[in-house]
């Protein structure tokens, strides 16, 4: 199926107002009132530009034209932004393995872009694995995760020849070893829980002992698992793995993890005479969802982690292991924009509710984690000042709220378009079939052209699966 090419536009992106250089000691720390307001487009893809008529272009394509052609709700993915972020990771971590975390968002095009840019892939199921490999992704550059891998997951990984499997529990060790074909060895990592609390919400903190992932360093479970893996001739233990959580915006937790894992590497050598050559620090790198919010400094993180790793290994007399990181949100999130159509505006007492044609079925994150976004009116210039409103979805849940207490023009009305930036990660990958509304399409934009990557889920698609009566 072919799709028409949408026209290229060449607007200029407005810059944030410049701040004059301070003069004298009193001007060294300007007061908040003198600081420039955050650039409202700073969290959008780098290709984003505002047009005089109120429209926004991403990848050189106006969002209004995308909405007219592909319908709403729709997800727009900036290919160049994805590629730019992949390259930034490779520059920040030279000589390391960078695995894109497919759980953030995966489709055939995404797998293709990531492979072309030289990244590996971190998958959590046979479904993600099969999609990637059948797209042409090299299986030796794939890592399989999961706290409860099914027999089908492990069989697919061994059949397709994934590069690494992360051991997450002691029960998995014998089960995996028994499935490895005779005469071969499967490379594995042991996922260690370092006892570090980090992440933007309690539900996405995975480095502590009170959650389901990994093997504890504190109670000796990790050490016991390592000994058991080393006793399996069909498993080749190549390193340690940890993942602290998600939406982490400071380097400090990663540095603490490095110190604890280097200590474990030293104990493994002392107790077993084995020097493990790899250390995977996982991902969880935080991004800004609203202008002015903090984001993890990638360059600073890389420099600090590498320095800490070098210091720790030198003190322990260990060779520096090959480092690996697993960014997902930090690559896909800021590259995506969700576009909705306003269906109704309801003023009830002191509250104004703006209802759109999507909701928690295509973005459950506000309901799950209380995530806050910065939606923007696109397609026309407002005639009224901003007012606080709550953007809600179309579903039969009081918790179906996409953005609470956000400023939108007071003349917002049905038929308007709202665009939500930083929508590329954990939206469609967590989408549901609630109310049978169908999942939105994914449209790629680049250099003034748009193409459909994932088509809209139709009622016919839903009915085709429902075969009983």
* E-only strand ranges, 284-335: 322-325
- Which one-letter DSSP state was computed for residue 26? G
Query: With contact defined as beta carbons under 8 Å apart, do 331 and 85 qualify?
Result: yes
Query: With contact defined as beta carbons under 8 Å apart, do 434 and 58 qualify?
Result: no
* 124 carries an active-site annotation: no
Distances (CA, A) of 276 to 11, 102, 317: 52, 26, 13
What does the alpha-carbon distance between residue 34 and residue 47 come to, in Å, rounded to a whole number? 29
**Would you tell me how many other CB atoms lie within 10 Å of the CB of residue 171?**
10
What does the alpha-carbon distance between residue 283 and residue 233 come to, in Å, rounded to a whole number? 30
Three-state DSSP class for residue 44? coil
What does the alpha-carbon distance between residue 88 and residue 282 come to, in Å, rounded to a whole number? 17
Burial class from Cβ neighbours inside 10 Å (0-12, 13-18, 19+) for residue 456 reads: middle
**CA proximity to 216, closest of 284, 149, 224:** 224
Residues with catalytic roles? 396
């Amino acid at each position: 199926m072919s799709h028409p090419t949408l026209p290229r536009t060449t607007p200029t992106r407005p810059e944030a107002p410049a701040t004059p250089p301070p003069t004298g000691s009193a001007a060294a720390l300007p007061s908040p009132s003198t600081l420039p307001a955050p650039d409202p487009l700073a969290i959008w893809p780098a290709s984003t530009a505002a047009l005089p008529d109120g429209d926004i272009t991403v990848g050189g394509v106006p969002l209004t034209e995308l909405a007219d052609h592909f319908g709403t709700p729709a997800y727009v993915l900036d290919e160049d932004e994805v590629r730019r972020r992949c390259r930034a990771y490779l520059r920040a971590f030279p000589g390391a393995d960078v695995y894109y975390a497919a759980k953030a968002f995966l489709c055939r095009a995404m797998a293709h872009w990531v492979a072309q840019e030289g990244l590996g892939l971190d998958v959590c199921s046979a479904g993600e694995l099969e999609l990637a490999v059948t797209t042409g992704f090299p299986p030796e550059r794939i890592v399989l995760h999961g706290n409860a891998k099914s027999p089908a997951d492990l069989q697919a990984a061994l059949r397709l020849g994934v590069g690494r499997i992360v051991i997450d529990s002691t029960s998995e060790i014998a089960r995996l070893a028994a499935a490895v074909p005779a005469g071969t060895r499967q490379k594995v990592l042991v996922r260690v829980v370092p006892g570090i609390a980090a992440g933007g919400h309690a539900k996405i903190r995975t480095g502590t002992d009170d959650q389901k992932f990994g093997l504890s360093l504190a109670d000796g479970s990790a050490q016991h698992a390592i000994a058991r893996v080393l006793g399996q001739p069909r498993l080749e233990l190549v390193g340690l793995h940890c993942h602290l959580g998600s939406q982490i915006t400071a380097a400090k937790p990663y540095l603490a993890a490095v110190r604890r894992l280097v200590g474990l590497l030293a104990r493994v050598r002392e107790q077993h005479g084995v020097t493990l050559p790899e250390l995977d620090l996982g991902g969880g790198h935080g991004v800004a969802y609203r202008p002015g919010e903090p984001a993890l400094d990638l360059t600073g993180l890389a420099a600090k982690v590498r320095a800490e790793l070098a210091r720790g290994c030198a003190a322990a007399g260990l060779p520096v292991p090959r480092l690996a990181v697993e960014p997902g949100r930090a690559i896909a999130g800021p590259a995506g924009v969700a576009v909705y159509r306003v269906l109704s505006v309801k003023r009830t007492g002191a509250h104004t509710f703006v209802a759109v044609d999507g909701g928690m079925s295509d973005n459950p994150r506000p309901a799950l984690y209380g995530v806050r976004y910065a939606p923007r009116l696109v397609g026309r210039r407002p005639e009224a000042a901003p007012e606080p409103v709550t953007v809600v979805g179309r579903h039969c849940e009081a918790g179906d709220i996409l953005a609470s207490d956000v400023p939108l023009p007071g003349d917002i009305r049905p038929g308007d378009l709202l665009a939500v930036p930083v929508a590329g990660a954990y939206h469609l990958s967590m989408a549901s079939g609630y109310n049978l509304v169908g999942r939105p399409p994914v449209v790629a934009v680049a250099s003034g052209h748009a193409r459909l990557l994932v088509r809209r889920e139709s009622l016919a698609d839903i009915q085709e699966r429902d075969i009983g009566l």
